[in-house]
Amino acid sequence: MASLSPIIVWFRRDLRLADNPALFEAAQSGRPVVPVYLWEDDAPRPLGSAARWWLHHSLKALSRQLAALGVPLLLRQGRAIEELPRLAAEIGADTVLWNRRTAPREAALDTAVTRALVALGLRVESFNAGLLFEPGAVRTRSGQPFQVFTPFWRACLALPEPARPLPAPAALTGMTGLSGDAVDEWRLLPATPDWAKGIGAVWTPGEDAARARLCDFIEEGLTRYTLRRDHPDQDGTSRLSGHLAFGEIGPRQVWHAARRAGAEPADGFLRELGWREFSHHTLAFSPDFAEQPQRREFRDFPWTEDAGQWAAFIAGRTGYPIVDAGMRALWDTGWMHNRVRMIAASFLVKDLLIPWQRGEEWFWDTLIDADSAANAAGWQWVAGCGLDSAPYFRIFNPVVQGEKFDPRGRYVRRWLPELAGLSDQFIHRPWEASPEQLRAAGVSLGRSYPHPIIDHGSARRRALQAYSALRGTGAA
């Protein structure tokens, strides 16, 4: 009977039970539910290495949660446009539900899958689970997408508050006897060498860990967020980005949890959630957001490609401690503090004149929270080529930034132990220490720690000259 036909719930970056509209709708029907995750052969952008590690453990966690409700998570590999119709025919399903992907290339794939399923007589329905507001719901007065964050966020705050999160299903009815893959077969984890040990020591993927992290932050960190968020030596950020990237927790859950704490402590934090929203809304209307500058004049920018400097940058061997600390933290833990991301990005694109796309690709591969929208938005903001970005002539001085946001050098000492013996005075500028001071600290410049690979002052002048030439002004 049609009324007893199973419902397929297609999981993607919504690896949670609570506030999962597709799963909630399926549970409310009272019909058998078949949750499936597809390793998509035709994914527009394959996951990076660190994100693959996270996905492995997140799928394990989701599988345990569903198993506790008596429903197995079915894992299969292939093209969704082939695998979903095949699965529907195999189990006699007449309905397929999923939560929407708003990135244009993923959305185009979903549209093609929808057409294929509807042509076979199946009902398809999708839901918003990954954003506070639908991209089309936040527009300028002329009906166009916003290009600047502040008026965008003001318009969001004028809309009705995001819907309250949906509860996780209390029970589900599943099907047995279905054949699928084991997540280990997908070989998402590194083998030899196992470079993910540091990531595993810091992060616990899964919905339970996401919820615990959110609760801890609301109770312990929210009231001090605006004071501490820019200081990498302090635990001042929410550290929810990886959980949000994989949908182990949803933005509506974060929004309402913060709001319950009161408007005053929540506003600054929610503004950062708004930046995530703005990034995704921008990507929804800009298919090439991750590859091309939104300000078209930057397509002719005179970038350089210095292989030696690039190698020093990704290895954390530039000679600028705050940059190097951030890059080593990224490699070891799969995450970098947001302030340090801006400092490192500025150094790459403005001191070294290496294209921001190279940095974006490296972050895509090494970040556990790799997200096409947020990643591109961050890099374009720093590079000055986004629609709403820092002016290109805003060039971070890595020494000044280090001294301002890591004044005691605790962050640098953690990630650059070879500099740990230096005093606070020289921790961010070791080349200014005397030979005696370096020797007393056990530092040998050029051996245990490199000399700066470029002079910041000269690099700044070169960057401004390149920008002036781009604009045709002929003057820095």
Active site residues: 272, 275, 303, 338, 356, 379
Q: Give the C-alpha separation, 381 to 342, whole Å.
A: 9
**Locus of tokens 């600290």:** 441
Cα 7 to Cα 82, 95, 176, 223, distances in angstroms: 17, 5, 14, 43
Q: Please tell me the total number of residues recorded for the chain in this structure.
A: 476
Element (H, E) at 437: helix 435-441
Tell the burial category of 390 from Cβ atoms under 10 Å away from its Cβ (0-12, 13-18, 19+): middle
Strands 74-78 and 95-99: unpaired
Q: Give the C-alpha separation, 466 to 474, whole Å.
A: 9
Q: Give the C-alpha separation, 396 to 196, whole Å.
A: 31
CA 217 to chain centre: 18
Nearest-CA neighbor of 130 among 284, 268, 260?
Answer: 284
Please, what's the b/e burial string for 43-73 (b: 16 or more CB within 10 A of its CB; e: otherwise)? ebeebbbbbbbbbbbbbebbbebbeebebbb
Tell the burial category of 445 from Cβ atoms under 10 Å away from its Cβ (0-12, 13-18, 19+): middle
Q: Give the C-alpha separation, 473 to 309, whole Å.
A: 29
